[in-house]
Every structure is written in C-alpha cells, then in structure tokens.
Structure 1
C-alpha cells in the first residue's frame, strides 16, 4: 500500500485538509508570514517563489530515491489557507514522521491539533501498522501539546537539530 499512498482530501468538523499543490504557494506565503512561527523550527517566512519551488518538489509525492513517500496537506478554514500538515512515510518500515505548522494569526484555537489528528487517523486507516513519530523542540510547548493529543510521547532522544523525538510506541506496544 505504501507505494500507492497519495494525499487525499480530508475533512474535519472545522477544516478541510487539501492535498498540496504548487498553486497554493502565494496564499501560503501570506499564511506563513511573521516571525514567531520560526522560533522553534528555524528559518524565516518563505516567499511565494520559494514555496513554489518547495511545493513543486513535495507534490511529486516521493523522494527521488523512492525511499520516502511525501504526504502534504494545506489546512483550510472556510476556504482560507491557515497552515499545513505533512507526513513522511519511510519505505523500509511502517514509520511516518509527521509535522504541522499553523500561521500566527490562526494559532491558539486548536487548528494544529484537529488537523494533525485527522492526518494521523488517515495514516492509521491506510497503514494500520504505521508508527507515528515527530521531532519537537524541547521548548515548543504548543507542538508538544499537539503531539500528546496524537498519542505521542517524548523518547528522550534528540536529533542533530536539538529536537526531541516523540513517537506512539506506547500505543503500538
């Protein structure tokens, strides 16, 4: 199933998760503007042109070597783009690393949690044995809260960027 896994439209009570396309770049540049978002994830607000290049690569759906499936969704609220969720599914094992970003203007209302839960449910439906992981900066309490709502727990292991690895091994054990 992994080889055929493609992002599909997902709906929640408040949001639509729309599969990513290059045409989302201009509106997402507006949604991702600001500086606070990048405090823990690094970088800076991308331009529409930068997002066009990024989205062109991501919307292909897999890494050039075929070892990863890339699933990306734009979070829409009443037709307006407010952020994104994404999952990178590894071909050599049922692991999916997930992430979420919601624009500053739209934070604090549970959007990341609702969208990430919907994405995780979709992943688990399409790959029941999937192990879900996330990388979270130790001071990013908002993302830690989202991860907990997904059933993820901190592992105590940190990557080269200083982010702690979280996973759902307690759910799948």
Structure 2
C-alpha cells in the first residue's frame, strides 16, 4: 500500500507590515547587509554557525533566498526585516515535527539574527511577535519553540517578551566549535496561549 505524500502548504502572504517594520522574503541584494552582521564574531557567538566568510555567506544566502514555502519538517521560511528601508535582521521559522507522514507540520522552531547597529529599540521584539502571529495565523501549528544558549541573555529576554515560557534547560548537550560543550535553554509557546499582537 502506498503512502500519500503530505500536500504542499501555500506560502504566506508577504510582506507583513508592523508599526515600524516590513517582513519580506530574503533577496540576493540583501547579501551585503546580512554579511555585515553574520560576519561579526560577537553576533554569531551563540549561533549554530561561525562568522561567515565569503564562501559561507554565498551558501547561506542561497538557502535563505530559497526558503519561501516550507511544508514539511526541516524546511523553513526565511524573512528579511526592514526598518525605514534598511535591512536590520532576519528571521527563521523551521518546521520540526508532525503527527503522521501526511499531516501538516505541528511544531516549528523560531530563530533570529539582528544587526547590533539597530539594537535597543525593540525592533527584534516587534519582528519576532509578527513572526509568531504569522506562524499561528497561517500554518496549522500546535506549538512554537526556540532553542538557545542560556548565556544568550538578549535572546532569552526576547523569548519572554513575546510570551514564550522557559520549559527546560539541558546540560552540556551542544557541541561547540572549539570542542567544548554548552547548555541549551528551551522556550515554548502553545497555540492556546497565543494572543495576536495586532
């Protein structure tokens, strides 16, 4: 007996506009701005990739530009975040799990990277709230989660500001690039806990 493949999901309606921001698909022309902050050792300190050289940036841009219509686990949606015409960061919504092989995704992971040049004004929080709203409004998701290094205090606070709860802290479960081990903090938000920002 053959098993039917899960149907592809429609891409979300973009761009998404908030009070100060526009969230849109990532374009090849975003390379310089993304390369500037993703090439910063301090920005990538707690990210799952090192500061990007030219070759790594090319590979990352290829993945980000193509990430427009996720439907199955491990596919993701990438969004560029603009403020007054300037790219200030990017967001990711990656599907991680579903009930069965033909079911739509039920769980997704959030991720973000923002330029420190534009920090301190709540832009990352505004963008992440918009991503949560898009995730629950457009996709049949049951749960959103974020996994981060507990030392990444800024991201932990962002999780809390968008209504996520600290659900767990696992010890030395992530292999760092230098051969050491670090912890992981897990934050979560269920659909029934979601209150749309707009």
TM-score normalised according to structure 1 size: 0.83
Which is greater in Rg?
2
- Does the alignment pair 1:94 with 2:94? no
Residue number in structure 2 paired with 1:163: 184
Tell me, which stretches of 5 or more residues in structure 1 are unaligned? none
Deviation at 1:33, TM superposition (A): 3.8
Deviations 1:1-26 (A, max 9, x none): 98224353111111111212333222
Question: 1 or 2 for the larger relative contact order (CA 8 Å, sep ≥6)?
Answer: 1
- Does the alignment pair 1:75 with 2:81? yes
1:114–1:15 distance in 2 versus 1, CA, 3 Å: same
**Aligned pair count?**
171
Residue number in structure 2 paired with 1:107: 119
Matched position secondary structure for 1:167: strand
The worse-fitting range, judged by mean Cα deviation, of 18-27 and 103-112 is 18-27
Higher helix share: 1
Indicate conservation of the 8 Å contact 1:36/1:104, yes or no. no
Consecutive aligned runs of 4 or more in structure 1 exceeding 6 Å deviation: none
C-alpha separation between the residues in 2 aligned to 1:137 and 1:10?
A: 29
